[in-house]
Amino acid sequence: MADINLTPRSALAPYLKLGTYGSHHGVPGAIIRELKDFTFVSLTAFKGQNATLSNLIKSKFEVELPKASKTESNNDITFISIAPNQWMVFRGQNSTSDFASELEALTSGIAAVVDQSDARAIVEISGSMVRELLSKGVSVDLHPLAFGVGDAATTLAVHLWITLWQTEQSPTFRIAVFRAFGSSLLDWLINSGAEFGCQVQD
C-alpha cells in the first residue's frame, strides 16, 4: 500500500495568490491576509443562563460578554456578539491549549459550544481605502462615526453571509465566512479593491 502523507492546509491556501492587483500607483489602498491557526467557536447561552454565563466568562477570561453588534477582547481572545445570547469566540494562534474543549468544560450545563474553526475562513483587511472597498458590498454603515473598533456585524456582503468586526482604528477589519465560500470572498475583495490597489500578503 502506498505511503500517503496528508499535509494540513489553511482554508484559502488553494486560492490565495500573493501580489498586488489593480492600481500599482503608490501605497495599496487595501491589504488582505489570511488568518491561520486560529480557534473560532460558537457560544450560545441556554435559556435563563445568560447572567451565569457572563459571570463565568468574566471570571475566567477577564472580559465582559459584549452586547448586540459589539466585541470585547482580552489579549488574543475576542468575543463577538452575533445574536441575542449568542457569540462567536476568536482565539489567535498564540494558544497552545484546546480552547474549544476548555470553553466547553467551563460552560457545561449553561451553554452550547461548537468548534467552527475548520468550517470558517477568516481574512484581515486593512488600508486607507478599506471602508470604501467594503461599502461596495456591505449594507452596514461603515463610516468611522457609525462603525469603529469594537463594533461588529453579521450581514450579507454581496451574496455572502459574513461576520465582520473592526479590530484597529487604522482601520483594520476581520471577516469570517463559511469555508466553502472563501474563494468567493477573496474574489469579491480583490475585484472591489482593484481601483485602489489591493495587495494580498501571506
User: What is the dotted CATH code of the domain comprising 39-118?
Assistant: 3.30.70.1400
The region of weakest confidence among 19-23, 104-108, 172-176 is 19-23
The span from the CA of 66 to the CA of 26, in Å, is 39
For CA atoms 194, 32, 161, 73, give the dihedral sign: negative
Q: Is the pLDDT of residue 95 over 60?
A: no
User: Residue 157: its pLDDT value, please?
Assistant: 94
**pLDDT tens-digit profile of 28-84?**
999 999 999 899 999 999 999 999 999 999 999 999 999 999 999 998 999 999 999
Shortest CA distance to 193 belongs to which of 131, 148, 144? 131
Ranges for all domains in the chain classified under CATH 3.30.70.1400: 39-118
Q: Is the pLDDT of residue 176 over 90?
A: yes
One-character DSSP codes across 94-140: T--S-HHHHHHHHTTTTEEEEE-GGGEEEEEEESTTHHHHHHTTB-S
138 in Cβ contact with 164 (< 8 Å): yes
The span from the CA of 91 to the CA of 112, in Å, is 17
User: pLDDT class for 96, splitting at 50, 70, 90?
Assistant: low
Question: Mean of the pLDDT values across residues 145-172?
Answer: 96
The span from the CA of 201 to the CA of 125, in Å, is 10
Burial grade of 157 (CB within 10 A; 0-12, 13-18, 19 or more): buried
Ranges for all domains in the chain classified under CATH 3.30.1360.120: 19-36+119-201
Topology (CATH) of 19-36+119-201: Gyrase A; domain 2 (3.30.1360)
HSE value, Cβ hemisphere, 13 Å, CA-based, for 115: 13
Q: Is the pLDDT of residue 94 over 70?
A: no
Shortest CA distance to 167 belongs to which of 176, 159, 158? 176
Q: Is the pLDDT of residue 3 over 70?
A: no
Pick the residue with more confidence: 65 or 97? Answer: 65
User: pLDDT class for 25, splitting at 50, 70, 90?
Assistant: confident
User: Residue 84: its pLDDT value, please?
Assistant: 95
- What does pLDDT average to over the chain? 93
The answer for residues whose C-beta is within 8 angstroms of residue 112's C-beta and 6 or more apart is 42, 43, 44, 46
Shortest CA distance to 98 belongs to which of 80, 117, 122? 117
